[in-house]
Amino acid sequence: MTQKEKAQVVLRLDGITKRFGPVTANEDVSFALHRGEVIALLGENGAGKTTLMNILFGQYTADEGSVELFGQPLPAGDPRAALDAGVGMVHQHFTLAGNLTVWENIVLGVDALSTASLKPAAAKARIRALSERFHLKVDPGAKVGRLTVGERQRVEILKALYRDAKILILDEPTAVLTPQEADALFATLREAIASGLSVIFISHKLHEVMAISDRVLVLRHGRLVAERATTDTHGEELAALMVGAEVSAPSIAPANPGAPLLTLRDVTTPGAGSAPGLARVSLDLRAGQITGLAGVSGNGQAALSDLISGLIAPASGSMELHGASPKGWSPRAAIANGVARIPEDRHKTGTIADFDLTENAILETYATRFSSRGWLDWSGARAFAQKLIAGYDIRCPGPDIRIRLLSGGNMQKLILGRVLEGAPDIILANQPVRGLDIGAVNYVHEQLAKARDRGAAVLLISEDLDEIMRLSDVIHVISEGRLSPEFARGTMRPEDLGRWMAGEGFEKGHTDAA
Amino acid sequence: MRLEPIAAPSFGRRILPPALAIGATFVVAALLAMIAGGNPFAVFGLILKGAFGSKFAILETLNSATPLIFTGLAIAVAFRAKLWNIGAEAQLYAGAVITVVLGTGALSLPAPLMLALCAIAAMLAGALILLGPALLKTRLGVDEVVTTLLFNFIFLLFVSYLLEGPLKDPMGMGWPKSARLIPEARLPRIVEGLRLHWGFALALIAAIAVWVINTLTTLGYEMRAVGQNAEAAAFAGIPVTKVILKTALLSGGLAGLAGFSEVSGLKGSLTLDLSPGFGYTGIVVAMLALLHPLGVVVAALFVAAIFVGADSMSRAAGVPSYLADIMLASALLFMVLAILLTKFRVRRD
């Protein structure tokens, strides 16, 4: 590609400012995106990345400033205009209709579903071709409601590609892909870039930013604080720019494993939707050890998490906590048995958005710690909330703030505080850092490591292999409900785990036997 | 023009919807009054005078507000837990039926015991009526909107049968009407000589009790948690099914009290026109109150004042008292619209 083509500006943001009441989400942000260029947008949660992209995509209207696409001013507040101009956005929170099929979701908004001119076969064929080319494996005929998180994200990416997007905005696109899938996506993205696509890439994963981007823009508190050519910078500098200070990942000391606190033997559970249940899973969670569970989203992690959370019981096989089978397995029984549960979805499962911080803090313990004869002890509850705010560095105006107004990181700190305050000895952490900024990620990891060091058994479920490999003392891989053997820290390379994640290595007929 | 979500509505914005809804309602009513040939200001003046213009008018308004406070509370309690109880009408009649069964001479007890017994029995009867749909919802996932709504019609026909059969007053000259309550089963007047009965005081106590339950007890906390996010509540270990059933019992019990209060305090016997739709009007009251128990009292007084005032206005001004029904209906519609304004802000681009 010639220098001239490269220099063509496809998108220009000029002096964008956006306020929500007293909060300034974006302040005077200006940058230009060139043809065939990949810009990485870095920033902590709440730094204003998503707001900026929503303005660009027409979902919000900027208070000041303008957006220009291919030299034309973009009419504010009109997603249609952005779409028609060739902007495709893959949101972090998916925008799919669960009751429609994959191909229907993809053509929705491009063609009217009910017109005679719509040719399902042609649309499906095109989707198949795209999904093959971009290694985005998904069945066009499947109902989206039955897809896993990972598959839904693939549909989102396909949706943008199907519309011949000239500018692709990807908000945390690789969070649910295996390393191999992510590599494949990067490879094909590069291909598409070479043929003229421009990409804005939002990610917290610094190595991805380094691998794929040409330029990095760092947002902090809504302002553009730095702009670097990717070749001129390195991960540590970017991390420091993001949080405004040098950060260091927690160093994990060797484990000192003890007796198993939670034991599963040949446990089978029914599946939910298209997500498989567990197929004769045996697992030991040992005291003083972090057990990492790697795997592609939708391979039985949810079933294992629900089982340990107390939401479901084994259909067959046995479960023992502290060497005894629990009677009457339920969330309350789990909490009573010292199981701390950090759920996968902190918005839907972990907190009640319109409850205030105090009410959320006591969600698990209101009946046992903060009530007497049916009356709630609000002063005790508030004191507890204050203690969590101080002890877990929850940044908020006070215990009366509604939870929906907190950032993801602070919400997660509240959940951490809530479950760790009782010094639990079994900890289930399901995707504990998904969508968090580096500062919050390190904080959560430190807390988990600290709990391990005082003798807790930690199960870390994550689709982020880096996280698993950095934190875990032993690693299992889950695939289609089957559990791999236990691998000790340092004995496996990412590619080896990736093969297990893809379903290789498991005994033949293992699932059939279940 | 489009809507943008608001993260944290201020207090002013939260009380804005009722104010807006009531304002818009008066505009619509003024137009209709003009079409009917009245001067809107005179019409509103007469409504106001009819509702609050004399001691008699005020007491009449308070009496009329009483059943609406009970049904409004019943709806507010249920809706807060996202239990869509549309069956307060049947629950009210259940409370009335049991009051008549116990209070027409079958039992002979001193007045305080008799009244307490009737009130508790009425609560239980109303509660049991809602327990069925609630169990169908929690066990089988049957939509309670359908079951509670349809059960209203079944139960009213059942009451009709009772009034033509087992409960028919032998001295009633053939009218479908129950025997009169014995004096011990009648709620006395709060002040001798004034028409206001103790049911109104009971309604105020109930409103305060519901407010206390909502804000200070574990049950209130559980009901709010289940209503706002049942998935998170279940994950945290809150027994969601039990909470829904308890909510149903409380809601049905409050509606049952409305029936007791009307029969024992006001009418003295049961007829099929005991309630001109208090169970449904309670939905409007609860919505106008934004499901707040103390707001229910205010909303019920507002609704009662319109009805009482419109009655007297139509006699004086010749504008039909249907105006009250229209005002009520438009208040609900405007309220639903106005509630959007607490959650969204209109932007003009």
Find the mean pLDDT for residues B306-322: 85
At A510 the pLDDT is 44
Q: List Cβ neighbours of B172 (8 Å cut-off, separation of 6 or more).
A: B179
At B249 the pLDDT is 97
Check CB contact under 8 Å for B235 and A349. yes
Give the type of residue at B271: T
Find the mean pLDDT for residues A456-473: 88
Q: Any long-range contacts for A249-253 (C-beta under 8 Å, 24+ apart)?
A: A249/A442, A249/A445, A249/A470, A250/A442, A250/A445, A250/A446, A250/A449, A252/A290, A252/A449, A252/A470, A252/A471, A253/A449, A253/A453
At A204 the pLDDT is 67
Task: Answer whether B238's CB lies under 8 Å from A362's CB.
Answer: no
Q: List Cβ neighbours of B59 (8 Å cut-off, separation of 6 or more).
A: B194, B195, B196
Nearest CA in chain B to A348: B232
- For residue B129, give how far its alpha carbon lies from the nearest alpha carbon of chain A (Å): 25
CATH of domain B39-318: 1.10.3470
Check CB contact under 8 Å for B235 and A355. no
Which value does ipTM take for this structure? 0.85
Nearest CA in chain B to A331: B237
CB pairs under 8 A between A and B: 78
Task: Answer whether A493's CB lies under 8 Å from A294's CB.
Answer: no
* Residue found by looking up tokens 């807006």 in the block: B20
List the alpha helices (DSSP H) in chain B. 11-35, 40-52, 55-80, 88-103, 111-135, 144-164, 198-216, 218-228, 230-235, 240-261, 278-288, 293-317, 322-343
A3: pLDDT strictly greater than 50: no
| Cα–chain center distance at B342 | 24
For B194-214, b where at least 16 C-beta lie within 10 A, e where not — what string?
eebbbbbebbeebbeebbebb
Check CB contact under 8 Å for B232 and A351. yes
At A473 the pLDDT is 92
At A176 the pLDDT is 62
A418: pLDDT strictly greater than 50: yes
Phi, psi dihedrals of residue A178, rounded to the nearest 5°: -70, 160
A112 confidence band (pLDDT: 50, 70, 90): low
Nearest to A349 among B2, B231, B347 (CB): B231
pLDDT tens string B141-196: 999 999 999 999 999 999 999 999 888 888 877 788 898 999 888 998 887 777 88
Nearest to B219 among A60, A311, A374 (CB): A374
Beta partners for residue B15, in sequence order? none
CA end-to-end span of chain A:
56
B-chain residues near A343 (CB < 8 A): 235
Check CB contact under 8 Å for B228 and A354. yes
pLDDT tens string A271-323: 876 678 899 999 999 999 999 998 877 788 999 999 999 999 999 999 999 98
Find the mean pLDDT for residues B101-110: 88
Check CB contact under 8 Å for B229 and A353. yes
B60: pLDDT strictly greater than 70: yes
At A164 the pLDDT is 82
Nearest to B218 among A78, A311, A366 (CB): A366
The HSE-up count of residue A342 (CA atoms within 13 Å, CB side) is: 30
Check CB contact under 8 Å for A311 and B4. no
Q: Which of B14, B235, B238 to mutate to test the interface with A (most CBs of A within 10 A)?
A: B235
Residue closest to B24 by CA, chosen among B341, B332, B340, B344: B332
Going from N- to C-terminal start, the domains of chain B cover 39-318
A511 confidence band (pLDDT: 50, 70, 90): very low
A262 confidence band (pLDDT: 50, 70, 90): very high
Residue closest to A484 by CA, chosen among A468, A507, A463: A507
Residue closest to A338 by CA, chosen among A317, A323, A350, A351: A323
Task: Tell me the pairing of strands A9-20 and A23-34.
Answer: antiparallel
At A514 the pLDDT is 33
Check CB contact under 8 Å for B221 and A20. no
The HSE-up count of residue A188 (CA atoms within 13 Å, CB side) is: 15
Find the mean pLDDT for residues A53-74: 85
For A337-372, b where at least 16 C-beta lie within 10 A, e where not — what string?
bbbbbbbbebbebbbbbebbbbbbbbbbbbbeebbe
Find the mean pLDDT for residues A465-488: 89
Check CB contact under 8 Å for A363 and B228. no
Beta partners for residue A167, in sequence order? A87, A198
A4 confidence band (pLDDT: 50, 70, 90): very low
Dihedral sign for Cα A106, A111, A116, A117, please: negative
B70 confidence band (pLDDT: 50, 70, 90): very high
Q: B69 vs B158, B175, B280, CA distance in Å? A: 25, 30, 12
- Least confident window among A297-306, A430-439, B111-120: A430-439
A495: pLDDT strictly greater than 80: no
- Least confident window among A76-80, A314-318, B35-39: A76-80
Write out the DSSP string of A1-41.
--HHHHH-EEEEEEEEEEEETTEEEEEEEEEEEETT-EEEE
Nearest to A352 among B218, B220, B232 (CB): B232
At A145 the pLDDT is 82
Nearest to B349 among A77, A334, A343 (CB): A77
- Least confident window among A164-173, A244-253, B48-57: A244-253
Check CB contact under 8 Å for A352 and B225. yes
Task: Answer whether B20's CB lies under 8 Å from B333's CB.
Answer: no
At A2 the pLDDT is 44
At A152 the pLDDT is 80
B225: pLDDT strictly greater than 90: yes
Nearest to A366 among B8, B221, B229 (CB): B221
At A116 the pLDDT is 57
Computed over every residue of chain B, the mean pLDDT equals 90
Find the mean pLDDT for residues B8-33: 80
Give the type of residue at B310: A
B6: pLDDT strictly greater than 70: no
* Residue found by looking up tokens 């339920």 in the block: A330
Check CB contact under 8 Å for A311 and B229. no
Query: Helix, strand, or coil here: B167?
Result: coil
A-chain residues near B2 (CB < 8 A): 77
At B127 the pLDDT is 97
Give the type of residue at B180: R
Q: List Cβ neighbours of B78 (8 Å cut-off, separation of 6 or more).
A: B84, B85, B130, B247, B248, B251
- Least confident window among A475-489, B31-45, B205-219, B248-262: B31-45
Check CB contact under 8 Å for A77 and B225. no
- For residue A355, give how far its alpha carbon lies from the nearest alpha carbon of chain B (Å): 8
- For residue A311, give how far its alpha carbon lies from the nearest alpha carbon of chain B (Å): 7
A1-15, A320-334, B81-95: which is most confident: B81-95
pLDDT tens string B284-293: 999 989 899 9
Check CB contact under 8 Å for B232 and A402. no
Find the mean pLDDT for residues A115-125: 75
B295 confidence band (pLDDT: 50, 70, 90): very high
Q: List Cβ neighbours of B62 (8 Å cut-off, separation of 6 or more).
A: B196, B200, B301, B304
B-chain residues near A354 (CB < 8 A): 228
B-chain residues near A404 (CB < 8 A): 7
Find the mean pLDDT for residues A438-444: 86
Query: When comparing pLDDT for B21 and B157, which is higher?
Result: B157
Query: When comparing pLDDT for A242 and A384, which is higher?
Result: A384
Dihedral sign for Cα B301, B303, B307, B313, please: positive
Q: B309 vs A185, A462, B35, B197, B199, CA distance in Å? A: 71, 65, 19, 20, 21
Query: Helix, strand, or coil here: B178?
Result: strand
A109: pLDDT strictly greater than 90: no
At B235 the pLDDT is 95
* Chain A positions with Cβ closer than 8 Å to B: 20-21, 60-61, 75-78, 309-311, 330-332, 334-335, 341, 343, 348-355, 359, 363-364, 366-367, 371, 374-376, 378, 402, 404-405
- Distance of alpha carbon A333 from alpha carbon A179, whole angstroms: 37
B7: pLDDT strictly greater than 70: no
Give the type of residue at B133: P
A458: pLDDT strictly greater than 60: yes
- For residue B247, give how far its alpha carbon lies from the nearest alpha carbon of chain A (Å): 15
At A219 the pLDDT is 86
Check CB contact under 8 Å for B237 and A331. yes
Check CB contact under 8 Å for B221 and A359. yes
A-chain residues near B217 (CB < 8 A): 374-376
The HSE-up count of residue B66 (CA atoms within 13 Å, CB side) is: 28
Q: Which of B214, B229, B346 to mutate to test the interface with A (most CBs of A within 10 A)?
A: B229
A-chain residues near B227 (CB < 8 A): none
Q: List Cβ neighbours of A344 (8 Å cut-off, separation of 6 or more).
A: A301, A302, A305, A430, A431, A434, A461
* Chain B positions with Cβ closer than 8 Å to A: 2, 4, 7-8, 216-221, 224-225, 228-229, 231-239, 347, 349
- Distance of alpha carbon B134 from alpha carbon B144, whole angstroms: 7
Find the mean pLDDT for residues A260-271: 92
Nearest CA in chain A to B239: A332
- For residue A133, give how far its alpha carbon lies from the nearest alpha carbon of chain B (Å): 38
